[in-house]
Amino acid sequence: MKFFKKNIWTICSWVAVFALIALDAFAEGYVEGATLMDTAAKKAANVFKSVKTITFILGGFGLVGIAYQAIIGKVKWSWFAGLAVGMALLGAAGAIVEYASGDNQVNNTLGTTFGANGTESSL
């Protein structure tokens, strides 16, 4: 009971956030024949695109900072390499999901960093 008394505002805030997210999912235009999983896949793809963009921006600053620190000897070069490989995996995540699932529509939704089917990305 002590936990709930100390964290009542946090709990209420989380309930409000989840309620607003649920309302947003239902407020978007209803498409005839769309299932719950289609809507969930579309929402997940939109979140993935947004998070991917933010991660690339922050990761770019991180690469520059870690490269500078590695040049002056403050950190190991393996940290820089690890960040670069991680960002490359994130960039190819859409293609990896498409390959693993065997679904051609995933790449049209998620795309890759270099664009779907060799076209340029809108980043």
Residue 59 predicted with pLDDT over 80: yes
State pTM to two decimals: 0.53
Q: Give tens-digit pLDDT for 94-107.
A: 777 767 766 655 44
| pLDDT per position as a tens digit, 14-50 | 888 877 776 665 555 556 666 777 777 777 777 777 8
Alpha-carbon span 22 to 68, nearest angstrom = 44
Of 35, 16, 32, 34, the C-alpha closest to 24 is 16
Question: Could you tell me how far CA 44 lies from the centroid of its own chain?
Answer: 9
**Average pLDDT over all residues of the chain:** 75
Is residue 115 within 8 A of residue 121, CB to CB? The reply is: yes
CB neighbours (10 Å) of residue 106? 20
Distances (CA, A) of 27 to 23, 35, 46, 67, 111: 6, 15, 16, 45, 26
Let me know: does 56 contact 90? Beta carbons within 8 Å: yes
pLDDT number for residue 102: 63
